[in-house]
Amino acid sequence: MQCPFCKAPDTRVIDSRMAEDGSQVRRRRECPVCFGRFTTFEKAQLSTPNVIKRSGDPEPFREDKLRQGIEHAIYKRPVTPEMVDHAIENVMRKMRATGEREVPSRQVGEWVMDELRDLDHVAYVRFASIYRSFEDVNAFREEIERLQTLPTPEQRKSQLPLIEAADKVVRKRPV
């Protein structure tokens, strides 16, 4: 890598560490010419599918647009930036996991609502009201009633270990 100070063509890595929960590599580098030290971060660059709008037109996926939509929903709600980052990463991971070149915007919206439902119920209803174009108060009421019948995020998290434990037992059985 080129030195940012003297533009020497090569630098050496002094130290490498995992960063951001293992999704990045932090490298400390030194220039053999000017002895300047600097840090670089290495992250895998994965391609994200295009989003097919309701009109049928494809559009490149924009993380900033996704973030803006979520931030509008969580406005003045007790949701941390880290929680938003995690939700965005989850949506993007689901998009990539489809293996498709194009994903319908409707599907992306459903994934966002899944994430918001776990973060904050008020933010979820705000997003759903715009995304699903609620026409009247009854639509709000129906969505809130549906939301109340679902298990809470804590309940769902406590259920996952039971499912995973059952899967392990099934896998250990001889076939």
The pLDDT value given to residue 153: 66
Phi, psi of 16 (to 5 degrees): -130, 135
Instruction: Tell me the pLDDT tens digit for each residue of 71-99.
Output: 999 999 999 999 999 999 999 999 999 98
- Region 101-121: mean pLDDT is 92
Of the two residues 105 and 23, the one the predictor is more confident about is 105
For the chain, domain boundaries: 12-43, 50-160
Three-state secondary structure of 88-156 = HHHHHHHHHHCCCCEEEHHHHHHHHHHHHHHHCHHHHHHHHHHHCCCCCHHHHHHHHHHHHHCCCHHHH
Report pLDDT digits (tens) over 161-175: 555 555 554 445 454
Angle at 13 between CA 10 and CA 18, to 5 degrees: 135
DSSP conformation class of 158: H
pTM attached to this predicted model: 0.60
pLDDT at residue 102 in the model = 95
φ, ψ of residue 114 to 5 degrees: the values are -60, -45
Residue for token pair 């929903």? 73
